[in-house]
Structure 1
Amino acid sequence: MRIEVTIAKTSPLPAGAIDALAGELSRRISHHFPENLGNVTVRYATANNLSVIGASKEDKERISEILQE
């Protein structure tokens, strides 16, 4: 499973926040999905978005809940 979170360029984060966010999301998601070892990418894009590839709809909903925590 591959998880990609995009953050709108219009809402820039402090330096190092992208890496910290990716690390924290990887930790939280691996707690619920142990088979997903750090496959979380966070980057800037034109809009906020969550993309989950290779997972069921229920898994994507659970990952979305984890992201909102």
Structure 2
Amino acid sequence: MTVLQAEAKKRYGSLRKLAINLGLTPGCLHQINARFRRAWPRLRQQVAAALEMRDDELFDEKGWPREKEN
């Protein structure tokens, strides 16, 4: 599980609801969370603002989602 998925579930109930709140298609965040594609800087900033976190807590420097530590 990624930090993105855990925080989205905690604050919005799911990645899908977070994506809808941001005006994105749900598949956009699912592709990032599943590591099929990386998040671009603007998207990282939007997601971080919606989750009230810094983008470096959610994503690495290349835009891949960070894994949640157990």
**Fold conserved (TM > 0.5)?**
no
Which has a greater percent of strand? 1
Larger radius of gyration: 1
Query: Please, what TM-score do these two structures have when normalized by structure 1?
Result: 0.38
TM-score (norm 2): 0.37
